[in-house]
Amino acid sequence: MFKSKGHRTFGLIGYPLGHSFSQDFFNRKFESEKIDARYINFELPAIEMLTEVVAANPDLAGFNVTIPYKQQVIEYLDAIDPEAKAIGAVNVVKIFRQPDGSLSFKGYNSDSIGFADSIRPLLDPERHRRALILGSGGASKAVAHALRGLGVEPQVVSRTAREDVITYADLTPEVMASHTVIVNTTPLGMYPNVDTCPDIPYDLLTPDHICYDLLYNPGTTLFMRRAAAQGAVTKNGLEMLLLQAFVSWNIWNK
């Protein structure tokens, strides 16, 4: 089912993958640069199917990881890059194949670099000191790590309160006014469910707010439209996707 052919194979694991542009991006890159490789979407309803993918593809050299497996994949790794370990999530895996046929897997995180490089030009150190991160999954962890590196203090927002995590009900006028960067890391609004968005008080947004959506399909999400209607600066995750893809490629080829 997941068997591939070619000199080197790369891919993406996650579920679902109908929204992803990674396959087209990498295959266009391979074709234009005459690289003997291919990139395949491995849509896995369960992370346990990863072993099946690896066994069926002896030319698999590495893969990206997306929702919902950025944390679950860690248990399959033999090593993890220090930054990915600090983040607690992995979205790039490099496969090392030894002459005796044995394999080892090392995990990295390119999301943090891609996000930081994408949002940096929008930030004003005087106005953007605190951020709300909507969602608490693997992408949320990478975003939090990146924001701290940029001098912005993150606050995670989720449906369930726990240590260091607030709920959507806690988004008071004071919280919204003091947190002028808002990043959606949830799948709400992702194609084909384009009529959904995170439940935040959009009427409290201002032109000082940056509302960044990690989603990129559709190009303008409902979250972005509602934020823009209040004058907020908006940006989708396409540039982040491209930037992290370049980092992924460098990891696989170093």
Exposure string (b/e) for 109-131, b if CB count within 10 Å is 16 or more?
Answer: bbbbbbbbbbbeeebeeeebeeb
Cα 98 to Cα 224: distance, rounded to the nearest angstrom = 47
Active-site residue, 70 included: yes
Specify the amino acid at residue 51.
Answer: T
Q: Do 153 and 182 meet the contact criterion of CB atoms below 8 Å apart? A: no
Cα 29 to Cα 34: distance, rounded to the nearest angstrom = 8
Q: Do 219 and 192 meet the contact criterion of CB atoms below 8 Å apart? A: no
* The one catalytic residue among 29, 34, 70, 106: 70
Cα 190 to Cα 201: distance, rounded to the nearest angstrom = 20
Q: Which residues are catalytic?
A: 70
